[in-house]
Structures are given as structure tokens and as C-alpha cells.
Amino acid sequence: MALIGNSFKLHQNNSLSGISRMAQSQSLRVSIHLPKVVAMMNSNTRLERNVTVSVESVVNELNAPTAVEVVDPTSNQHPTAVGGGVEDAYGEDTATDEQFDTPWSVSVASGYSLLRNPRHNKGLAFSEKERDAHYIRGLLPPVVVNQDLQVKKMLANIRQYVVPLHKYQAMMDLQEKNERLFYKLLIENVEEFLPIVYTPTVGEACQKYGSIFKRPQGLFISLKDKGRIVEILKNWPEKDIQVIVVTDGERILGLGDLGCQGMGIPVGKLSLYTALGGIRPSFCLPITIDVGTNNEKLLNDEFYIGLRQKRAKGQEYAELMNEFMSAVKQSYGEKVLVQFEDFANHNAFDLLAKYSSTHLVFNDDIQGTASVVLSGLISALKLVGGSLADHRFLFLGAGEAGTGIAELIALEISKQTKVPLEETRKKVWLVDSKGLIIKSRFDSLQHFKKPWAHEHEPVKELLDAVKTIRPTVLIGSSGAGQTFTKEVIEAMSSLNKKPVILALSNPTSQSECTAEQAYNWSQGRAIFASGSPFAPVEYNGKIYVSGQSNNAYIFPGLGLGLIISGAIHVHDDMLLAASEALAEQVTQEHLDNGLIYPPFTNIRKISAHIAAKVATKAYELGLASRLPQPENLVAYAESCMYSPSYRNYC
């Protein structure tokens, strides 16, 4: 941007003439922000850090020159609210990362448009002074209320709905109208609304996404966009992106191929990144890669919103993903975290292996699930006794989740015992659709299953595998509901005084067994946790409260830790550190109630502790780029967290 006397010109591909015309027809104030943009002064002075330019309007593109105020952010002075800017009371504009060099970002922050901007809208909470300053007097009823009363009102309204999907739609509507109110409601009632904005309700939302679709959230990149992905990323209004959650929709939870309608997953995950991990909403970008779907029902659905073709695969798929990953790094830098979500096995492992050395990537289905399950097992040891190396683990399911958990368990045992990983893997057995994974099946196994092929006679059924392997821990990651039958639970109970049973598949309909079944069939002796939440169970006069092995315990804190340390790669030791940090938050009181995970009510403090442990490991491994290391990483993590409280615009 060049400043000549009191006039200025905008050098930008997209002309602001449209905004100028709008400004002539409405009384608007425009705030123009240039993160780390170099401004050339007429005295040849260069400002190479954040510069904020506030103008009365952009009508001067057509009219007489207008004075321009340049504010140097290196000073302690914050820009006033004259042009729609606000004091950054929480440090959110700079807390979690450096600003990248970005093109212009123009936001209309006054009048009718302000009430339609979810990031800045406060509804009836706008004060009398704000209503005058921002031209919204008369556009709202005269009453002024505070945010707490708004939360109370929304809580009462949403609780009126009986159907979870209706609650989900109400929450999404709120997010699209008033972002801070949405997050305040979610944070203060996380145990109530976590199952609504994420699993299990998000699964049904994805199944019906085409029918309930109202307003686009995130970016949709399809095969038609090949060769133009960098250009498409520029269409997203936020330029400083720190976390991307991306899916191709092929394996949504346990529901299968939902194609383009899988967008509900990235949107839900990133809502949790903000609510539970404190990552600013503007730093988060949900993306769906649409390469078609093999779901005939969707292809014949008139309301389906994606490409109507069979899934691309092979070279065509690989080239699109490679262009996407290159475009992300080119657009947002090497420190942007890309979280792969709900990719099918045949792509998930390959993508993680291919890009883990060149990008900051993380697969929640493989690594996040593994970390949260390992944490639960560490806590369970306090109830059943012994170390991890003293136990035998049997999995039903040998996909991304199953093999990911198995590998992290083996890594932790190897770390504790100094025994080679190849040996510690022998503590873990997996059953897939064809039975126990053994050496005689080696040549026909997919590559990610081969490390788990041990010497043993063929076993077809899970019940027979339980009786033969005699596991102390049974873990379900099959995506197949009701596969932990009464006979299987009774067999586990006959072998163990306190059998550890984890039914991890989502949504609830796909869970291997319910909490009620686990406690009843084990005569109240099971240590049980599930992927989806279950209500407390009464057995023989005692109330059993089961834990939820939910990835939401891990990925928000992990992401925050990667961001505050400026990590450039995700290392397995960071996942182990996250598991140990979560286990440390389980108190004796929780254990006495049979819980192997802490309640979600304190999840932000839990995420801060996880972030600190992950960041510490990043510094130890030499993978951190944000120097020097803060002295108190827990306090630093907490200070970086986004606050949903309203800001004062005057």
C-alpha cells in the first residue's frame, strides 16, 4: 500500500469499488487490517510489523481524499473503535502465532451488516453507546442484556427440543449468527452439548447434511478444481490459518462413505478445537475434498450436495491430494497443522506416511484415538494393578483405530521396559473380519496389519480368540455394533477379576456393546469406557458411571501444544506425552467411581496441561520453532486460549 500525502491507493486484485458503492447506499464504517503488510510512507519510513489502517469510509475511492491513520502495534496503544476496530483485550490477535504476510482483509463493522456478522454480532448485548457508535440504534429492540442472560435464554430454547438432530441444527444456527455466544454456551455446558455438536449426533447430521444444508461452512474442493487449489484457498476470508481439518468423506465414523456430506466432521472437530483447546475460530479452516462417492443412495438423492460420480482413486486421487497439501503449505506456511479425518484405511495410512516428514500432519483416527485409549489404559492400571507389560490386549477391528492404538501401546511398553518394539508388539493381538491375524495370513494382509501377524493357529470367531489368547483388555474398534456379545463379556469376566472392556466405535448404534450390557454381563466387575456417551447404570443397587474414550480429550490440547511451540512435525513421543498428561488428570475420586477419564467439565484446564506436555516434548526433540521456550508452559497455554466473552466496541 502506498500512502501519498493524505490520499491512498489500494493495490489488490479485487477492487473495492463494490464496497464503495455499498458505502454510498448505507452508512458504513470499514476497518481494513493488514497483518504484517509493509506500508510505504511518503518519508520512506517502513513499518514491517502489523499495521492497522482506520478510515472513515472507502467512498474516497470515488470522492475527495480522506486522512489515513497508521497505528504502530509495537506501541502499547491499541487502535480505537472508530472504524469498527476493538481493543484486543484478551490478546487473541497475537496470542498463538505470528502473523503471516497476507493480502487485504476488509470487514464491514457497522450498521445492519454488523448484526449479520457472526464474529462481531452481540445481539441485544450491544450497549447504548455501541448502538450509536456503530449505527445500529433502531435495528434492535431497546432492551440491553448481558451475555450471561443470553446464554440462559439459549439454553432454555435448545433444551425444548427432544430430537438431538434438532438441537444440533439449533446450535449450528447460533454459530452462524453469534459466534461468541455459541462458544460460551458450549464451553459452559460442554458435557451436555458435546454429544450434540460432535458424536453421536454429528453422524446423523452428516447422513442428512444435504437435506439440512443452509449455509456453507468451510471450503469444498472437488476434482473439478484440480490445478486451481491455491486460488480456491485465497477465497477463504481468513489468511492466518493454524489448523485445518480435512476429510474426503469415505469413512465417516462407523457410517461409511458419505462423500461431500462428511463436512459435518471437520466443522464439528474445529468447533471443539476452539471450545476445548482455545484455538481462535478465525485460525481454523474445515475442508472437504470431494472425489465422488460410492454410496448409491447418495448418488440417487436429489438433495445430495456433492459430485455425482464414483470415487476417484489411484493416480487421479493422489495428484489431487498432492496439489492440496502443496497448496496448503504455500498458502499458510509449514507450521499449519493439517488433521486428516475419516479417510478410509487404504488412503489414511499412505497419506500420513507420505506427508509426516514434509508437513505438520496428524491423523485423529489413527493417532488421536490411540493417544486417548492409551491414557485410559494407564488410568485403568491403577484399578487392575500391574504395568502395561503385564497385560495382554485383544482388539476387534484392525483398521486405522485398531492398529493405531496397538502401535502406541507397544511403543509405550517399549519405552517403559527398553524392550525392542518388535517384541512388545507380541503383547497385542488383533481380530479382523477374517479372524485372528496370524503369520499364516501374512501374504494376504494389508501392509498396516502385517506387524500384528503372530504365530498362532487359525481362529475365526472373537469368542474363541478370547478363550485362546486370554486377554486382560478387550478393545473394540470394528465399527460393528453389538459384537461384544453376552458370551464374550462373560468369557472376559471368567478370566479376569476386573476385565477392562473398551467399546470405542461411533456413533452409539455402532458401539460393540452398551454400558448396561457390560456391567450386567460382568456382574458389575468390568472397567468400561466407550466412544459414545452412555447414561449411568444401576446394578445391584450400585450406580456405575462409565467413561467416554473421546478423542476430544486429546486433539484440542495436542493442537494447542503444537501451535504454542511452533512445532514443525508431529512425533510419536508427543502422543505419548499427551496420553500421560491426560492420565495425570484422573484423580482417586474418579477412580473410586470407576472412571478412567476425568469429567469434561474441566476440559480447558486439561487441554492446557496436555498442550504444555506436548510443547515440552517439542522443545526436547528440537522440533519447536518458537523461541525462547516459555518458563511456565501451562500458564502460557492458558493465556493463549480464546475467550468467548464479548468485547467492548466503544
Is residue 198 among the annotated active site residues? Answer: yes
Among 167, 183, 184, 198, which one carries the catalytic annotation? Answer: 198
* 3-state per-residue secondary structure call for 446-498: CCCCHHHCECCCCCCCHHHHHHHHCCCEEEECCCCCCCCCHHHHHHHHHHCCC
Beta strand 360-363 with 435-436: parallel, antiparallel or unpaired?
A: unpaired
Q: Give CA–CA dist 186/34, Å, rounded.
A: 31
Classify each residue of 566-590 as buried b or exposed e, where b means 16 or more C-beta atoms within 10 Å of its C-beta: bbbbbbbbbbbbbbbbbbbbbeeeb
The answer to whether the annotation marks 365 as part of a ligand binding site is: yes
The helix (H) or strand (E) run that includes residue 539 is: strand 537-539
Q: Is the separation of the CB atoms in 291 and 317 below 8 Å?
A: yes
Q: Give CA–CA dist 198/163, Å, rounded.
A: 15
Q: What are phi and psi of 473, to 5 degrees?
A: -130, 130
Instruction: Count other C-beta atoms under 10 Å from residue 159's C-beta.
Output: 12
β-bridge mates for residue 243, sequence order = 284, 337
- Specify the residue for cell string 432454555: 156
β-bridge mates for residue 544, sequence order = 537
Q: Is 284 helix (H, G, I), strand (E, B) or coil?
A: strand
- Specify the residue for cell string 449450528: 172
Among 269, 449, 613, 617, which one carries the catalytic annotation? Answer: 269
Q: Give CA–CA dist 149/254, Å, rounded.
A: 39
Q: Is the separation of the CB atoms in 222 and 307 below 8 Å?
A: yes
Nearest partner of 144 among 156, 155, 160, 132, judged by Cα = 132
Grid coordinates belonging to 397: 477391528
DSSP 309-342: SPPP-HHHHHHHHHHHHHHHHHHH-TT-EEEE-S
Is residue 168 among the annotated active site residues? Answer: no
Angle, CA of 13, 121 and 184, to the nearest 5°: 120
The answer to whether the annotation marks 550 as part of a ligand binding site is: yes
The answer to whether the annotation marks 251 as part of a ligand binding site is: yes
Binding-site residue ranges for (S)-malate: 251, 506, 550
**What residues are labeled active site?**
198, 269
Q: Which parts are annotated binding residues for a divalent metal cation?
A: 341-342, 365
